[in-house]
Amino acid sequence: LHGRNRRLTIQPLSLTRICSTKSIVSVNGIFPGPTLYANEGDRIIVKVTNRAQYNITIHWHGVRQILSGWADGPAYITQCPVQTGQSYVYNYTLTKQSGTLFWHAHETWLRGTVYGPIVIYPQKRYPFVSPYEEHVIILGEWWKANVEDVETAALQTGGGPAIADAYTINGLPGPLYNCSSTDVFVLKVKRKKTYLLRIVNAALNTELFFTVANHALTVVETDGDYTKPLLTNSILLTPGQSTNVLIKTDQPIGRYYMGASPYMSASIPFQRVPTLGLGTKPCDANRTSTANITASMSNISLILPGIALLQAYYFNISNVFSADFPDSPLNPFNYTGSPPNNFTPESGTRVNVIPLNSSVQMVLQDTSILGVENHPIHLHGYSFYVVGQGFGNFNESTANFNLVDPPRRNTIGVPVGRWAALRFKADNPGVWYMHCHLEIHTTWRLLCQMEWVLVKRYHLRRRTFLLVEGRIRNTFVHAVN
């Protein structure tokens, strides 16, 4: 997808993988979908036409688009889903940001197959050795069943997240699965060169390790921002995270495995939370919502409204949401190594209203009630600095913050039984979804629903967030269940 005439057509595609054939929802008839190439600061106009049998939206994950919240994409947050036969034009301007991100469907589980990379080239040269070549590596899952049916099954049984039948690199499962010896992503490289790999985890529910046999990786970018270089043998990406790494082809000529393997496999233990008996979500009568699992943030479980929040805000429609998302958990907890006993979420469409240009500190505390996974919390419309992480309960007086060179991300894996502290300047007005990027948790009505409305005028003064000096106006401590 280059230049001015960018079009995404959502359409069915028949594909055979790991010994079986199915019809998937694809974009432009290829899988994964096309790469969106752009330069820093470009105006992006993409026309999305829906020729599939599901309603859909497209989200530009990690793109810090300013003053164009209508183009962000999450269904029922910033827009209504695009119905079969209809189109929607996403129109936004990139800010000072470059790197690797991705776009994906943002309605039900459609992003299981509807996704593709975003590559944004910087204005200036890279702050590291210029690579001989660059390649995109997008990691995903493959299900023999229709992903929408996998979602329905997960809801009906209230069971753990169904495990994908295969993990994929650029849509291909690789030679270790049955009937898959030719469905292998092969990267041909020359010896003694430096390559830049742009890696994205587009999986629905799985944190993935990525590694290349016998080769070291130097991480140079996370979620669309440069970072202090880090030398490592493998990286772990949560769903929603991306990273650029340099790799030197300094080994003897030969073939080396590139591997993407799950953080966890086999069955995932989790605990049940009492049913709230809320019935069907008001936003979509077709959707079952009878899971007896409820995920929550600060004891609030999101109900998506029948009309997009941004519309409701903009047109002043009352009774769609309430501006009373709590600043801290409704039920205080104490994490002592075993999960605290506070399974009492309330449901609703509550919004956290933050004044424009506030400096925000948000501490996310994983209470480990739901399972043994990290919760990859993703914030739309922003990137945040990850200023601290630690074990157990967050304690302001003993927490050790890095205010010098913290990494910047749009998705943070909040580790089980630990906390992560984020800071950002609320300089982008709009309604921004914040949620767990494990799709199963969003399905369980479901995690981390914080959306926010930055209600002050649509107006922006460009200013850098002075991390150290910025006075923190809003501090939130949220429990992630």
Q: Which is nearer to ligand C2O, 212 or 295 (CB)?
A: 295
Q: Which is nearer to ligand C2O, 246 or 297 (CB)?
A: 297
Cα(166)–Cα(140) distance, rounded to whole angstroms? 9
Q: List Cβ<8 Å contacts ≥24 apart for 264-268.
A: 264/206, 264/207, 264/372, 264/373, 265/163, 266/163, 267/160, 267/163, 268/160, 268/161, 268/163, 268/371, 268/372, 268/373
Q: Which is nearer to ligand C2O, 380 or 418 (CB)?
A: 380
DSSP 120: E
Cα(220)–Cα(248) distance, rounded to whole angstroms? 13
Are 177 and 18 in contact by the 8 Å Cβ rule? The answer is: yes
| Closest C-alpha to 88, from 175, 196, 8 | 8
Q: Which is nearer to ligand C2O, 350 or 378 (CB)?
A: 378
Sole window of 192-200, 326-334, 360-368, 429-437 interacting with ligand C2O (rule: CB under 6 A): 429-437
Shortest spacing between CB 62 and ligand C2O, in angstroms: 8
Shortest spacing between CB 179 and ligand C2O, in angstroms: 31
Q: Is 430 in the site for ligand C2O (CB under 6 A)?
A: no
Q: Is 90 in the site for ligand C2O (CB under 6 A)?
A: no
CB neighbourhood size of 400 (10 A): 9
Single out the residue of 198, 375, 435, 478 in contact with ligand C2O (rule: CB under 6 A): 435
Shortest spacing between CB 399 and ligand C2O, in angstroms: 28
Q: List Cβ<8 Å contacts ≥24 apart for 183-189.
A: 183/17, 183/18, 185/137, 185/258, 187/135, 187/258, 189/133, 189/249
Q: Residues 347-386: x/- map of binding to ligand C2O (CB under 6 A)?
A: -------------------------------x-x------
Q: Which is nearer to ligand C2O, 359 or 449 (CB)?
A: 449
Cα(245)–Cα(339) distance, rounded to whole angstroms? 36
Are 434 and 379 in contact by the 8 Å Cβ rule? The answer is: yes
Q: Is 115 in the site for ligand C2O (CB under 6 A)?
A: no
Shortest spacing between CB 437 and ligand C2O, in angstroms: 6
Structure tokens at 166: 């295969």
Q: Which is nearer to ligand C2O, 363 or 379 (CB)?
A: 379
Are 443 and 295 in contact by the 8 Å Cβ rule? The answer is: no
Q: Is 240 in the site for ligand C2O (CB under 6 A)?
A: yes
Shortest spacing between CB 304 and ligand C2O, in angstroms: 12
Single out the residue of 17, 61, 423, 445 in contact with ligand C2O (rule: CB under 6 A): 61
Sole window of 177-185, 246-254, 337-345, 433-441 interacting with ligand C2O (rule: CB under 6 A): 433-441
Cα(418)–Cα(300) distance, rounded to whole angstroms? 20
Whose CB is nearest to ligand C2O? 61
> What pairs with residue 138 in β-bridges?
200
Q: Which residues bind ligand C2O (CB under 6 A)?
A: 59, 61, 74, 104, 106, 240, 378, 380, 433, 435, 437
